[in-house]
Amino acid sequence: MKPVVFRYGIYATLAIVALSAFHFFVIVPSVSWANAEIAGYLTMILSMIFVFLGIRYYRDHVNNGTLGFGQGLKIGLLIVLIPSVFFGLFDILYTEVLNPSFFEDYYTHQIEVIRASYTKEQAAAKIKSLDDQKEMFGNPVFQFLLMAATVFVIGFIVTIISSLTLMKKKNASIA
């Protein structure tokens, strides 16, 4: 099981880091913040295809063509842990080293959206809330945990769906 988990975990990690690098350096600067956010979630979802492929490989090549839901869940979650950790680290690298102005740019954009969408009183309350969030997101540990958890949750959903669709019981032999 370990070789399958590590192999497909590394594949998912390479996919999420490569797609995220493309996302951060090509998509974010050229599209709206809303579209960039959608593209970011698509990046996470696309990289999770390796969870499905890893569970399927385990079923077909390691476990003699059978797979219980619990087995699929275990393998999928172990695979998901690897890209979750690496994406959290990559996100910190990007926001702290490669583009340290990312959060300030995002904050400025959000302030503009709030001011355009709300009355002055409502905007002041929303901006106060945004300021509190800005302080939290400035903490690299919180940022790592949030981004790793985001990938893990998406991977967990993919794992459940994959485990359910790939379940295969042993055929009972006819005597």
List pLDDT tens digits, range 48-81.
999 999 999 999 999 999 999 999 999 999 999 9
Burial class for 56, CB neighbours closer than 10 Å (0-12, 13-18, 19+): middle
Q: Is residue 172 part of a domain?
A: no
- Residue 88's pLDDT is 95
Instruction: Provide the residue range defining the domain that includes 151.
Output: 2-166
Q: Is residue 88 part of a domain?
A: yes
Q: Is residue 122 part of a domain?
A: yes
Q: Is residue 57 part of a domain?
A: yes
pLDDT digits (tens, 9 = 90+) for 123-134: 888 888 888 888
- Residue 153's pLDDT is 97
Q: Is residue 151 part of a domain?
A: yes
Band (pLDDT 50/70/90 cuts) for residue 34 is confident
Give the integer Cα–Cα distance in Å for 36 and 159: 25
Q: Is residue 78 part of a domain?
A: yes
- Residue 126's pLDDT is 83
Q: Is residue 173 part of a domain?
A: no
CA dihedral of residues 29, 31, 34, 38 (deg, nearest 10):
-90
Q: Is residue 171 part of a domain?
A: no
- Mean pLDDT over each residue of the chain, to the nearest integer: 89
pLDDT digits (tens, 9 = 90+) for 5-25: 999 999 999 999 999 888 888
| Number of domains composing the chain | 1
**Is it the case that residue 173 has pLDDT exceeding 60?**
no
- Residue 174's pLDDT is 52
Q: Which of 32-36, 63-67, 102-106, 114-118 has the highest mean pLDDT?
A: 63-67
- Residue 139's pLDDT is 86
**Is it the case that residue 117 has pLDDT exceeding 80?**
yes
Query: Do 5 and 78 contact (CB within 8 A), yes or no?
Result: yes
